[in-house]
Every structure is written in structure tokens, then in C-alpha cells.
Amino acid sequence: MAQVISSSRARWYDPDSATLDRRIFSDPEIYQQELERIFGRAWNFICHESQLPEPGRFFMNYIGEDQVIAVRDRKHQIQVLLNSCPHRGNTVCRAEQGKTASFLCSYHGWNYDLDGSLIGMPGENQFYRGDFDKKAWGLGKAAQVQIYRGFVFATLDAQAPPLVDYLGWVGRLGLDMVASSGDIEVLDGVQKNRIKCNWKLAVDNLYDWYHVKVSHGSALRIGLLTEESMAPDGQMVMLGDYGHGIGGPGLSQAQLNDFVERMGNGEEPSKWYDLQAARRLDQRTRDELGPVGARSLGHPNIFPNLWVTLTRQLCLRIPRGPFETELWWFTLLPEGMPEEERRMAIFIANHMFGPAGFLEQDDGENWSHSTRGAMGNATRKRPLNYQMGHGQDTVVGDPSGQNSIETVVNEHGQRWTYQSWQDWMTADDWPSLIANHTPAPTGVV
């Protein structure tokens, strides 16, 4: 039985040859299935609690192509509502964020409370003759809304397992990397821009420490970054069930100890990781991240589309059809951060990423041209190569449970993303995904 499932799974990503059918970046039917089977089932990042400080505060986001309103209701609960009036389907909220007393549909005036329940509509007695079941016609809602360390997630699937189980240790560690050491808040201002690429190519790229020196070589040559810090040879990868992963630079225990000692003695930063690892100086943070996690300076992805950056940012990759993706940048800082540190953190966030960022500027064209390469009749039939490091590395177990691959620049994260993506796409529902998904690898990978 397992063999049958395994062979039917090899339609797009072939784990034996580590090659990928590039039609997954262009086929409109596959895209529609993704909306159903991935975005419709996953726990999707919606916002951070700090963005909804009091009742009536709302923030608009998307689950796949479904627009949703995250709002704090009168009981201080966070609701995630479908932004579509059940009467004619019109949106009931048009602002990206703000504060409101209710959501009033601009078409016929149906009015919804902050928890999505229908308060009333014009002509309730005169035209509907007082014979209308308002309780049955509230706004649609996410099936479940749960919060992990202030990060609000929602799923449209009532069968989805609890958020903490979904995230697993890798997803939780990914969020801990930005949330560790106290309360954090989202700064006002989410940068948003559109790239003509398939969303998965943007996700693929966050694990890609191979492209950095080529795609972003200009950042080296204008003196913004050093070669050593851009794509260090020492890399760590951690893979978690359902497609979560963390991949990128990693420190050895000796490097981490040396860092803690030098910085603890008040020495000036001198090694490439001294600034990137800055938060690891705090013993509490190291304890929180765990013995292996504390050594990782990699990029987490919360499957499917939430990248946690090294610059205290989250980047959400929202699909806009098979050929277009919207990038949303959230910047998170600890509450009560010293003014000078805060100024520097905002400077880095504003200048590295976002559409005008020194690094980010160069990515879009690569992803859009890769997407075009999945459209040509001849090119789309040729598989893509994901063989870097395939079968060359070993997952090392740690007594803490934090298993990791310690290696050089590699494509483990990308392979894991497509393997997991395929598991999601071939599962009929959550029980079947739970039963049949590829477990996080052990041994040789």
C-alpha cells in the first residue's frame, strides 16, 4: 500500500532523482488545487497580536485568494472573518487596517458585528417581513484561530491539528528565533509589492544560500556586506513534518562559545556572525532556542509561505494566480528596545529588503523569469535540477530532539519543500495527510 501511494506521489517531484516538474509553477489547475489543498488546509499566518491592541482594530490579509479580516471583537477575542457579504458577495471592509465599530456592506447595508454575526439590514421588517434567520447569515469565519507567542494563525479546515502540533519543533523554533527575549510588536507599516512569479519560487529562494553571491553580488561590491557574512560555507538545516524548515548559516558549538566569551568581555564585533548572532548573547535566548537551534542563523519557513528573516522581519508570499505573488514585509521589534538599537534595526529592515531594498531588488527578475521558463512548451517539459548535496549528508540526532544536517551550501530545504508540497497535494484531507505525509528525514538525506 505504501508503495502504491509512494509511486503515485512521484508525479511532480521525484525524490530519487531530485528533479522537479516545472509545470507546478505554471499549470492553472495545479494552482487551483493549491488553493484548496494547501492554503485551504494549512495554518496561515494572519497578523501579530500587537496589531490588534483593542476591540474594533482590524488588519486585512489573505488565505490563498480568500480575503480575510483579522479583528479583535468586543470580548477581546481575535476573529478571522471572510471578507464577503453572504447576500451578494461584496466585501464588507475595504481598508487595509484601522478601527471600526462594525462591518457595513456598501451594497445593501447588511451590517456585521466584530465577531462576524449579522446585526441587521435595511428593510428587515418591511421587505423581509421580519422572517429572516440572521443567526444563519453571519460572515464566514476561519474554522480555527490560534496564537503562538503572539503570532496569529488561522485555518479554513476544521480538521487541522492544533497549531502547536502543526508547527512542530521546527516551526516553533522558527518563530522563537524572532520572538525570543521578551514581548515583541509589529512596527506600523507593512511593505507590499507584486512580483510576476509563482509563489513557490519565492519560497524556494529563502533556503537558497547558493544564489547570494551571484544574485546579490552587487551588495558585496558596494561594501554593504562582506563575502563571509553573505553565504558562509558552514550551513545547518533542520526539517520538520508538513514542510517546515530552517536552512542557512550555522555556527559550531566552538564558534558560539567563542562568540559568547568575546562579546561577554565587551569586545568589538570582529567575526562575520557577531552581529547576526547578537541575540544569542543572552543566556535565556540560547536556552529558549535550544542547544542546536541557538547555533542556527538560518532562514525558517513556516509552511507554506511565511519566511522569518534574520532582520527581525516576516515575509509573507501571497499567491495572486499562478504567475503573480504579493510580498508583505512585517517588521517585529522587542517592546522597550533601546532607542539606538531600534533605530538601527529599522534602518536595516528598510534598506535590505522590500522592493527598494539593496538585496531584494535583484530577486524579482530571477523568479519571474523562472516562472516564464515554466510556460514555454519545450522548456516546461524539462525538469529542474535539485541535486545539490542530495544523498551526501546525514541528519544528526541530538538528545534535545533538535536534529540537524550540518553541511555546506545545499538544497535540502528546497527538496523538503517540494516533497512536502507533493504530500499536501496528494492528500484528500487532513487525516490522510497526517497518516501519509513524509516524516521529517533521519539518516542519510
- Region of 98 (left: φ > 0; alpha: ψ -120 to 50; beta: rest) is left
- Which is nearer to other proteins, 343 or 382 (by Cβ)? 343
Distance CA 73, CA 136 (A): 19
Nearest to 148 by CA among 158, 170, 163: 163
Distance CA 141, CA 82 (A): 6
Full strand arrangement of the beta sheet holding 118-120: 103-104, 111-112, 118-120
Give me the least distance between CB of 92 and other proteins, in Å please.
12
Give me the least distance between CB of 250 and other proteins, in Å please.
28
- Which is nearer to other proteins, 28 or 189 (by Cβ)? 189
Distance CA 172, CA 290 (A): 11
Distance CA 129, CA 25 (A): 52
Give me the least distance between CB of 199 and other proteins, in Å please.
14
- Which is nearer to other proteins, 59 or 424 (by Cβ)? 59
Nearest to 294 by CA among 404, 408, 183, 445: 404
- Which is nearer to other proteins, 157 or 362 (by Cβ)? 362
Give me the least distance between CB of 112 and other proteins, in Å please.
15
Give me the least distance between CB of 334 and other proteins, in Å please.
16
- Which is nearer to other proteins, 125 or 218 (by Cβ)? 218
Q: At a CB cut-off of 8 Å and minimum separation 6, what does 90 contact? A: 84, 105, 106, 107
Inter-residue contact 297 to 191 (CB < 8 Å): no
Side-chain-facing half-sphere of 277: CA atoms under 13 Å: 31
Paired residues of 186 in beta bridges: 332
- Which is nearer to other proteins, 11 or 372 (by Cβ)? 372
- Which is nearer to other proteins, 103 or 207 (by Cβ)? 103
- Which is nearer to other proteins, 76 or 221 (by Cβ)? 221
Give me the least distance between CB of 351 and other proteins, in Å please.
6
Residues engaged in binding other proteins (CB under 8 A): 94-100, 187-196, 215, 217-218, 221-224, 326, 331, 343, 346-347, 349-351, 354-356, 358, 360-366, 368
Side-chain-facing half-sphere of 394: CA atoms under 13 Å: 4
Give me the least distance between CB of 46 and other proteins, in Å please.
17
Give me the least distance between CB of 56 and other proteins, in Å please.
11
Backbone angles phi, psi at 215, to 5 degrees: -60, -40
Cell numbers standing for residue 368: 519571474
